[in-house]
Structure 1
Amino acid sequence: MSSHSPTSMREMLKQPRAVWAVAFACVISFMGIGLVDPILPVIKDQLHATPSQVSLLFTSYLVVTAIGMLFVGAVSSRIGAKTTLIAGLAVIVVFAGLAGASGGVDGIVGFRAGWGLGNALFIATSLAVIVASATGGFAGAIILYEAALGLGIAVGPLVGGLLGGISWRGPFFGVSALMLIALVATALLVPSTPRPAKPTPVLASLKALRHRSLLTMALAALAYNWGFFTLLGYAPYPMELGVHELGFVFFAWGLLVAAFSVWVAPRLQARFGTAPTMYVVFAGLAVLMGVIAAGVEHPAVVVAATIASGAFIGVNNTLMTQAVMLVSPVERPVASSAYGFLRFIGGGLAPFVAGKLAAASGFGLPFWVGAASFLVAIAILATGHRMLARAEASAPAAHGETPEEELAVPEPAGEGLDLDRLADEAPAARR
């Protein structure tokens, strides 16, 4: 059984202003993921595009985010975390606005790629800032970050549906305006952090994947996100709903993501441990994807299974982020970038492949492949089960201690927690 204890809501809410400013910006940033869901069919119809072409709105955005993740640590260590956050937000403001002003699907896809670059600068740095600045310990910081993610994912489709009912351009302009507000809040409320004594090497994040612990979790995240973004990118089509109805469906889904991230994940983790809980979550998602695949011609089945998946996704998002940070043998900003690279590669490629599969064999096949990807995630995670269990039991952060200010004085890339030594010493320490 895990030694984690659930973080209390009162403890999690006692945060510095800087944490709340970054968390607000995270909500707006993650709105961009689900924002386009309600307007996918509208863009397809009004811009005379195929579902495969429209899927590139996810692919260009997420693949560029993934590649950008590799270099965020090096950028942040040279210009500072706050400047990196502001730069990322500024890029999103510009490219979200340009996407809204675009005249065709190819233009939107291209500007979503630029949006993805800003997303990379912001996401990796925001996680590191929240973990370093939040009170209430490492676990509480992760829960707060995932709560922002869940809330953004929930609100994104609702805003997308409401504004998309006016015009497909509305959601893009809406995010641009909200990100401008987030940029101002970050500039005013987030203090400047000292730069590390030694800048992070440009290839530090890529080299970090040589460590088996980090690579195992990142590959599991790749498989998980393949299924996740297959659901997010293709479920709207067989639902056969209008833009407002799609907005409310994914709003309900996102509310479950947020609620289970904050309230349910810590309790399941405390009761059963991280890895066992994740196995059940992956299996549950595989079942739900199978239900969608088998019932793809019945919109009510697709809607119900999609909404229910939010509960499993909420639990897994929190536990997977914590697990990556626990087992990583490098400093957390580098770990976040390396993990984000493979995570978003899976998310970016999945909608594109799903489009090709759907064009060849109908809507059912992409969801069967998505179900299989969750089972692959179980197999990958199982190879690191003992490693994760030992790190979870032994790491000080698992017991609610406040993490060090890793943004200010990071360890040299490629060094840090020695998991092999930790695994050998942990039993003796407990005795």
Structure 2
Amino acid sequence: MPSQSIVSTPTKALKEKKEKKASLFNQPLSVWAIFFASVIAFMGIGLVNPILPEIANKLNASPSQVTLLFTSYNAVMAFAMLITGVISTRLGHKWTLLLGVGIIAAVSVTGGFANNIWTLVGLRGGWGLGNALFVATALAAIVSLSKSGTAKAIILYEAAVGLGISIGPLLGGTLGSISWRGPFFGVSTLMLFVFIILITLMPKAKDNNLETTSTAKQKTSLLDPFRAMKHRSLLVLGLVAALYNVGFFTIMAYAPFVLGLDAKGLGYVFLGWGILLAITSVFMAPKLQQRFGTIKSMRIMLSLFVLDLVVMGIFTSLQWVVICAVIFAGAILGNNNTLITTAVMDAAPVERSTASAAYSFLRFIGAAISPFMAAKLAEVFNPHVPFLVGGSFVLLSLLFVLLNDKHVRHVDELESVL
């Protein structure tokens, strides 16, 4: 049903058909600036990952308290996503990106001087605010400025995410082996570098084509993301993302505590995870889309993710099995992230920035719940339970897609005509 898509006119459909023939790598300099900035921004997530056990040890905190570093980050990020459109339509994409980067730089350097877990948890909330401003705006900016169409622009964005997440743990593990404070200072330095890149290479508002449509020039309302959720297709995809992110962040925030590795060892494991995430998001996800369609491919990936988490839940005490399962999860998540983000961009007849804000709000609610819940389940029951519960949430997301097929199938119908 093309009427339910953002691409609702023949003219726009023809334009995107032409764009799809363009090379993924034939992009304006401004797109590459945002791409590189996104790589460094997402390195910030992985930088902290390998030092979670060390933070618990040095600050005399329990695993559940340390996982609040992810919970506060994702919770603030989820709600901040609702205001990114309001801010970006008033400041412009360039200055919204710079504001986000500046906040991350400030809170990360302050985190390096923190002496207790609760200060660090609060600062990670501020980090989530900065990342929300950056992430939502970066995706919208890359899609708007790209010469190769929505699908390839999203692939480029997910590649940046994958590269950042893969390089981050290695750098974090290396700096963390010196001191747990090292990655925080490392992030602030990198963010200053990003600030310089963006302010130098991003075009001025009057020179760019980020807001070319009449609707984009209007000021976005705080209520727009909630209005967007009235579209069943967007709501379904957002809830699916929220559910499978419980499994995603069970791996990110809880797996380091059961692997029994030092910071550098954890860095190498999540390096492998991130490399597979990056490769599959760029090269494998488009092939799956062409062969099976977006929605069917998503169902396949969610099924594999359920099995992967169940394996981790059953064989939690076997280190090599958990390591292999964590790395393999990167391939699954790389595919699924690209598939679901592509589907969201064409899910409902709303501006892409608004769709991204609504989807990201729901997505990061799941990511906020998962880390603390996983650690608490391990403390109350045993180390196997968090992975099994995470797998149950991913299974729910799969069932949700199947039960709501009629509301999302138009995404594949649209792709078949473009």
Tell me the TM-score normalised to structure 2 length. Answer: 0.91
Q: What do the CA deviations read for 1:225-261 (whole angstroms, capped 9, x no partner)?
A: 1110011111111110111111000001100000000
**Are 1:368 and 2:388 an aligned pair?**
yes
Q: Which amino acid in structure 2 is aligned with residue 107 of structure 1?
A: T
Q: Which amino acid in structure 2 is aligned with residue 351 of structure 1?
A: P
Q: What do the CA deviations read for 1:84-107 (whole angstroms, capped 9, x no partner)?
A: 111011001101111111111111
Q: Is the 8 A contact 1:100 1:170 kept in 2?
A: yes
Alignment partner, residue 421 of structure 1? none
Q: Is the 8 A contact 2:228 2:358 kept in 1?
A: yes
SS at 1:296 equivalent:
coil
Q: Is the 8 A contact 2:346 2:411 kept in 1?
A: yes
Residue in structure 1 matching 2:318, options 291, 298, 310: 298
Alignment partner, residue 303 of structure 2? 283
Q: How does 1:350-389 map to 2 (within 5 A)?
A: 350-389=370-409
Q: Which amino acid in structure 1 is aligned with residue 370 of structure 2?
A: A
Alignment partner, residue 254 of structure 2? 234
d(CA) in 1 for partners of 2:129, 2:182: 21
Going from structure 1 to structure 2, the CA distance change for 1:321 and 1:273 (only over 3 Å counts) comes to: same
Residue in structure 1 matching 2:350, options 317, 330, 339: 330
Q: Which amino acid in structure 1 is aligned with residue 304 of structure 2?
A: G
SS at 1:36 equivalent:
helix
Alignment partner, residue 404 of structure 1? none
d(CA) in 2 for partners of 1:373, 1:160: 29
Residue in structure 1 matching 2:24, options 12, 28, 31: 12
Alignment partner, residue 315 of structure 1? 335
Deviation at 1:388, TM superposition (A): 2.6
d(CA) in 2 for partners of 1:133, 1:52: 42
**Are 1:108 and 2:120 an aligned pair?**
yes
**Are 1:253 and 2:279 an aligned pair?**
no
Residue in structure 2 matching 1:46, options 36, 39, 58: 58
Q: Which amino acid in structure 2 is aligned with residue 128 of structure 1?
A: A
Q: Which amino acid in structure 2 is aligned with residue 29 of structure 1?
A: A
Residue in structure 1 matching 2:130, options 115, 118, 122: 118
Deviation at 1:10, TM superposition (A): 8.5
d(CA) in 2 for partners of 1:355, 1:329: 40
d(CA) in 1 for partners of 2:64, 2:147: 44
Q: Which amino acid in structure 1 is aligned with residue 358 of structure 2?
A: A
Alignment partner, residue 243 of structure 1? 263
d(CA) in 1 for partners of 2:64, 2:106: 26
Residue in structure 1 matching 2:37, options 2, 25, 31: 25
Q: Is the 8 A contact 1:157 1:250 kept in 2?
A: yes
Q: Is the 8 A contact 2:20 2:149 kept in 1?
A: no
d(CA) in 1 for partners of 2:22, 2:256: 37
- Return 387-396 or 247-256, whichever deviates more: 387-396
Q: What do the CA deviations read for 1:25-83 (whole angstroms, capped 9, x no partner)?
A: 11111112222111011111111110000000100111100010001101111111111
Alignment partner, residue 5 of structure 2? none
SS at 1:83 equivalent:
helix
SS at 2:409 equivalent:
helix
Structure 1 runs not aligned, ≥5 long: 400-431
**Are 1:266 and 2:266 an aligned pair?**
no
Deviation at 1:334, TM superposition (A): 0.5
Q: Is the 8 A contact 1:164 1:243 kept in 2?
A: yes
Alignment partner, residue 69 of structure 1? 81
Q: Is the 8 A contact 2:232 2:407 kept in 1?
A: no
Identity %: 46
Deviation at 1:384, TM superposition (A): 3.2
Q: Which amino acid in structure 2 is aligned with residue 312 of structure 1?
A: I
Q: Is the 8 A contact 2:295 2:412 kept in 1?
A: no
Q: What do the CA deviations read for 1:262-307 (whole angstroms, capped 9, x no partner)?
A: 0001001100111111111111111110011111111111111111
**Are 1:80 and 2:80 an aligned pair?**
no
Q: Is the 8 A contact 2:294 2:411 kept in 1?
A: no
Alignment partner, residue 369 of structure 2? 349
Alignment partner, residue 159 of structure 1? 171
**Paired positions, count:** 394
Q: Which amino acid in structure 2 is aligned with residue 191 of structure 1?
A: P
d(CA) in 2 for partners of 1:9, 1:179: 34
**Are 1:179 and 2:191 an aligned pair?**
yes
Residue in structure 1 matching 2:220, options 200, 203, 208: 200
Deviation at 1:113, TM superposition (A): 0.6
Deviation at 1:111, TM superposition (A): 0.6
Q: Is the 8 A contact 2:142 2:157 kept in 1?
A: yes
Going from structure 1 to structure 2, the CA distance change for 1:395 and 1:286 (only over 3 Å counts) comes to: closer
- Return 212-221 or 194-203, whichever deviates more: 194-203
d(CA) in 1 for partners of 2:366, 2:155: 23
Deviation at 1:148, TM superposition (A): 0.3
Going from structure 1 to structure 2, the CA distance change for 1:351 and 1:9 (only over 3 Å counts) comes to: farther
d(CA) in 1 for partners of 2:343, 2:218: 27
d(CA) in 1 for partners of 2:191, 2:202: 15
SS at 1:12 equivalent:
coil
Q: Is the 8 A contact 1:97 1:176 kept in 2?
A: yes
d(CA) in 2 for partners of 1:353, 1:192: 44
Q: Is the 8 A contact 2:285 2:338 kept in 1?
A: yes
